[in-house]
Amino acid sequence: NAGVTQTPKFQVLKTGQSMTLQCAQDMNHNSMYWYRQDPGMGLRLIYYSASEGTTDKGEVPNGYNVSRLNKREFSLRLESAAPSQTSVYFCASSEGRTLAKNIQYFGAGTRLSVL
Amino acid sequence: AQKITQTQPGMFVQEKEAVTLDCTYDTSDPSYGLFWYKQPSSGEMIFLIYQGSYDQQNATEGRYSLNFQKARKSANLVISASQLGDSAMYFCAMSLAGGTSYGKLTFGQGTILTVHP
């Protein structure tokens, strides 16, 4: 049972470099999400995709872009990385049909450092 | 906008005892869901329990129960018979049912639980 798979697990970037975080789920979920977790804080939503073909901004979207490639995959791109984007990034997915069914299942996270 | 508050940065409990982790929330939306997640030191987020705002009974999942007091806007997590493996960070989260907020989780800052043998 793979669930939600994120790659890479760790990444170090220099300021100004770009990279894409990959996320794939095998649960046939409709909705997918990207969060960031900073030290000592809860998760904050960056972007989400309620269903295939749609994406929308969350609480902290600046500096990021996303692509819902298909129902399974949802990628997060940093075009020009900044030290403030040093964080742990989590991808999640959910059925997204009713609130009771909207339990989000998370990937293992990507630990990103921007120097 | 919704808000989740967890006022206990850290809690300690003796193995086999029960512990309550506090969570209060703020929303004017009548339809919402409350979630608890566990984050062990390995970093993954593990779903524990869900409570809907219209649910008549408190949710239970094994050793986890949610003490839902709607009028007080609290959704405390109760862990019975604590085990060493319960040591982790615990997050309370909320999702609204309506409009553009649907499905998006707002998290509290978390409570670190340490279980002593």
Under 8 Å between Cβ of A21 and A6: yes
Per-residue pLDDT averaged across A68-93, rounded?
96
| DSSP percent split of chain B into helix, strand, coil, nearest 5 | 5, 55, 40
Residue B75 has what pLDDT? 98
Residue B92 has what pLDDT? 97
Please identify which residue in the block is written with the tokens 């450092």: A113
List residues in chain B touching A: CB distance below 8 A. 4, 31-33, 35, 37, 43-47, 50, 52, 91, 93, 95, 97, 100, 102-110
Inform me whether the pLDDT recorded for A101 exceeds 80.
Answer: no
Residue B49 has what pLDDT? 97
Q: How far is CA B73 from CA A23, B3, B48, B110, in A?
A: 35, 11, 20, 17
Bridge partners, residue B66, by sequence: B77
Query: Chain B: nearest CA to A48, how far in angstroms?
Result: 8
Under 8 Å between Cβ of A103 and B50: yes
- Residues A13-70 have pLDDT tens digits of 999 999 999 999 999 999 999 999 998 788 999 999 988 889 999 999 999 999 998 9
Q: Does A33 contact B105 at a Cβ distance shorter than 8 Å?
A: yes
Per-residue pLDDT averaged across B79-105, rounded?
88
Per-residue pLDDT averaged across B33-51, rounded?
95
**Paired tokens of B89:** 């960070």
Inform me whether the pLDDT recorded for A71 exceeds 90.
Answer: yes
Distance of CA A62 to the CA centre of its chain: 14
- How many CA within 13 A on the CB side of residue A89? 33
Residue A40 has what pLDDT? 78
In this prediction, residue B103 has a pLDDT band, given cuts at 50, 70 and 90, of: confident
What end-to-end distance do the CA atoms of chain B give, in Å? 41
Residue A96 has what pLDDT? 79
| Average pLDDT taken over every residue of chain B | 93
In this prediction, residue B100 has a pLDDT band, given cuts at 50, 70 and 90, of: low
Interface test with B, best of A46, A103, A105 (most B CBs within 10 A): A103
Q: B2 or B33: whose pLDDT is higher?
A: B33
- Residues B14-29 have pLDDT tens digits of 999 999 999 999 998 8
